[in-house]
Amino acid sequence: MSATDSLAQAATALLGATARRITPLHGGDLSDVLLLQLSDGQAVVAKSGTAPEAEARMLRALAEAGAPVPQVLAVSGAVLVLSHVENDGGPDEEGWADLGTALRRLHATQAPQNGWPEPFAFANLPIANSPAATWPAFWAERRLLPEVPHLPPALARRIEALAATLPEHLPRNSTALLHGDLWSGNLLARRGRLAALIDPACYHGDGEVDLAMLHLFGSPGPAFAESYGPLPPGAETRRAIYQLWPAIVHARLFGAGYHGMIDALLSRTGH
């Protein structure tokens, strides 16, 4: 049985349904995603991944915070089944404003501490989420320093030097609910308006982490910044600090071609 057939079978078994049409969707580089047209006419999305049950809990947390996300219909250790959200392109200016409003609401959802109740992963790359005493300690100990052994020595030394200075740059306590992997590919829009956020990697921390990721591989329209609201002083340095971890993740997953990005981001932090 092919991987596609296996995923479709696992999804329909959870739903107690049959699929009359199976269409592969672009699911990024880390999971398989299928659009299933069920015999009753309903359209659902079946997604594999590293931890479908953990992702389901994240989607439910985002929904409870008022963020637009697909509905979790069923989940097992092998497959996540979601409501199908129509997507016909990227956001227009109104859509970017929608995102700013949605993120402001999301980041207003606070927790008693940073981190997340369970670890996660991007493919075979583990993500440690256990809380730390402070937010700078979390970013150093759970995000930057674990990557040091996987970097060339010169970059590794610069990361270590930066980590030692994080209390000077980052807020001591930050516990906003984060999407955790917010780039343009994880935004769904319909007729230009924001339809849903997908593929979360949630934890609690500084809301600027989501903004940094959003700007790493693209540039939201000006309506986004106006809708989200102003940032405290020092945002440019914090953005570079927060962009370092996804840049390192990309280097580990996709190769040394991202080392130049890491070098440039470190230079922006003064390291």
Domain boundaries in the chain?
Answer: 3-83, 93-268
Instruction: Give the model's pLDDT for residue 29.
Output: 57
**Neighbour order of strands in the sheet with 43-47:** 19-25, 33-38, 43-47, 80-83, 72-75
Please provide the average confidence, as pLDDT, over all residues in the chain.
95
% helix / strand / coil in the chain, to the nearest 5?
A: 45, 20, 35
| pLDDT tens-digit readout, 80-120 | 999 999 998 889 999 999 999 999 999 999 999 999 999 99
CATH topology of domain 3-83: Phosphorylase Kinase; domain 1 (3.30.200)
Percentage with pLDDT > 90 across the chain = 91
CA atoms within 13 A on the CB side of 53: 5
The domain defined by 93-268 carries CATH number 3.90.1200.10 = yes
Does the pLDDT value for residue 1 go beyond 70?
A: no
Q: What is the mean pLDDT of residues 208-223?
A: 94
| pLDDT tens-digit readout, 30-40 | 678 999 999 99
Categorize the per-residue pLDDT at 189 as very low, low, confident or very high, splitting at 50, 70 and 90: very high
Does the pLDDT value for residue 232 go beyond 90?
A: yes
Tell the residue number behind the tokens 């080392």, with chain if given. 259
Model confidence pTM above 0.75? yes
Does the pLDDT value for residue 147 go beyond 80?
A: yes
Q: Which range, of 24-28, 171-175, 190-194, 232-236, averages the lowest pLDDT?
A: 24-28
Which tokens go with 199? 């593929």
| pLDDT tens-digit readout, 27-82 | 655 678 999 999 999 999 999 988 999 999 999 999 999 999 999 999 999 999 99
Give yes or no for a contact between 110 and 177, defined as CB atoms under 8 angstroms apart: yes
Q: Is 191 left (phi over 0), alpha (psi -120 to 50) or beta?
A: left
Instruction: Give the model's pLDDT for residue 2.
Output: 81
Instruction: Give the model's pLDDT for residue 111.
Output: 97
Query: Which residue in 32, 181, 206, 210 is the catalytic one?
Result: 181
Instruction: Give the model's pLDDT for residue 271.
Output: 96
Active site residue 92: no
